[in-house]
Amino acid sequence: MADIVVIFDFDKTIIDCDSDNWVVDDLGATDLFNQLLPTMPWNTLMDTMMKELHSQGKTIEDIAEALKKAPLHPKIISAIKAAHALGCDLRIVSDANLFFIETILKHHGLTDYFSEINTNPSFVDEVGRLRIFPHREFTTCSPSCGDMCPPNMCKGVVLERIKASVLAGGRKRVIYLGDGKGDFCPSTKLREQDYVMPRKDYPVWEVICSNPSLIKAEIHEWSNADDLERILLHLINSIIFGLRTSSLLSSDCKYQTIPIISAQEPLTPRLAAPRIAC
């Protein structure tokens, strides 16, 4: 076994869309979704949307059929299988929900490649309605998150737990892949020997580009499924064979000036100079 844990975000990382929006759009409920969006947290809204769809006569099978059509690039599938074959421990950290993720993984024959799925719990109730709950009790953001994490899930907390298990299990390196704002908090918890793969031109990449000093891990951006497969397997092989790598971010990164850490942020910038050139 390689001493590597690979942690994937799900929406817009494993699949090339947001599964929540995908289901809502496919089942024709986009207008209602947009109408309710300003009135409640996203996690509560998805549970409410499932209630609405159920009352409109949409079944759990209709939802599953929609999920099976979500785009998942063959290169992502081959990357997951190759990383697993190289002995990596693959996990998912996602703000979608368990039913959506398991339905999609099963459809593509990927269920057994992941040792753990950290996401919002969900189940089908006695009347056939999908219920979706928060991963954690709604809380105000932990001070270390700034305003990056939604109230129902801090991926940074999940990352800290995985890090503890990585150390306990003798595994040494973490590679984290993601695209969204919520992927920044866990990225700041990675160590110098770890790697973060932000999706270029997506929110987490923009935030990292604006705050490189908050990231200790080596940064390797990716744009599409081909990139993801090539870069991920390169990093895994480099770790296995003890080769040196260095952060790779495109030069346009330096033009990003989006302030993201809230004013009261207590994050302490590293003393060392940033390890990237953006």
Is residue 3 a known part of a binding site?
no
Site for Zn ion in 168-197 (CB under 5 A): 185
For this structure, is 9 an active site residue?
Answer: yes
- Nearer CB in complex with Zn ion: 22/184: 184
Is residue 201 a known part of a binding site?
no
How many CB atoms neighbour CB 205 within 10 A? Answer: 27
d(CA 142, CA 60): 35
Q: Does 158 bind Zn ion (CB under 5 A)?
A: no
For this structure, is 227 an active site residue?
Answer: no
Stretch that binds Mg ion, among 2-10, 66-74, 147-155, 245-253 (CB under 5 A): 2-10
Q: Does 145 bind Zn ion (CB under 5 A)?
A: yes
Closest distance to Zn ion from the beta carbon of 135 (Å): 11
Q: Does 154 bind Zn ion (CB under 5 A)?
A: yes
d(CA 266, CA 142): 10
d(CA 116, CA 67): 20
Binding mask 168-187 for Mg ion (x = CB under 5 A): -----------xx-------
Q: Which of Zn ion, Mg ion, none sits in contact with 220, Cβ below 5 to 8 A by type?
A: none
- Residue 136 DSSP code: S
Judge contact between 192 and 23, C-beta under 8 A.
no
Amino acid identity, residue 17? C
Stretch that binds Zn ion, among 16-24, 47-55, 147-155, 234-242 (CB under 5 A): 147-155
Judge contact between 278 and 253, C-beta under 8 A.
yes
Q: Does 159 bind Zn ion (CB under 5 A)?
A: no
- Nearer CB in complex with Mg ion: 45/239: 45
Closest distance to Mg ion from the beta carbon of 42 (Å): 13
How many CB atoms neighbour CB 21 within 10 A? Answer: 12
Which is catalytic among the residues 3, 9, 112, 183? 9
Is residue 179 a known part of a binding site?
yes
Residue 39 has which token pair?
């009135």
User: Which listed residue (4, 5, 6, 11) binds Mg ion by CB under 5 A?
Assistant: 11
Residue 227 has which token pair?
């990139």
Helix, strand, coil content of the chain in percent (nearest 5): 45, 15, 40
Closest distance to Mg ion from the beta carbon of 210 (Å): 19
Stretch that binds Mg ion, among 7-15, 60-68, 124-132, 210-218 (CB under 5 A): 7-15
Judge contact between 134 and 151, C-beta under 8 A.
yes
Which is catalytic among the residues 3, 11, 25, 125? 11
How many CB atoms neighbour CB 249 within 10 A? Answer: 19
Is residue 95 a known part of a binding site?
yes
d(CA 20, CA 46): 7
- Nearer CB in complex with Mg ion: 12/129: 12
**E strand segments, the chain:** 4-8, 89-97, 114-120, 122-124, 130-132, 173-178, 195-198, 218-219
Residue 249 has which token pair?
């971010």
User: Which listed residue (4, 7, 8, 9) binds Mg ion by CB under 5 A?
Assistant: 9
Cross-strand pairs, 122: 132
Annotated binding-site residue numbers for Mg(2+): 9, 11, 179
For Mg ion, the binding residues (CB under 5 A) are: 9, 11-12, 179-180
Query: Which residues form the catalytic set?
Result: 9, 11
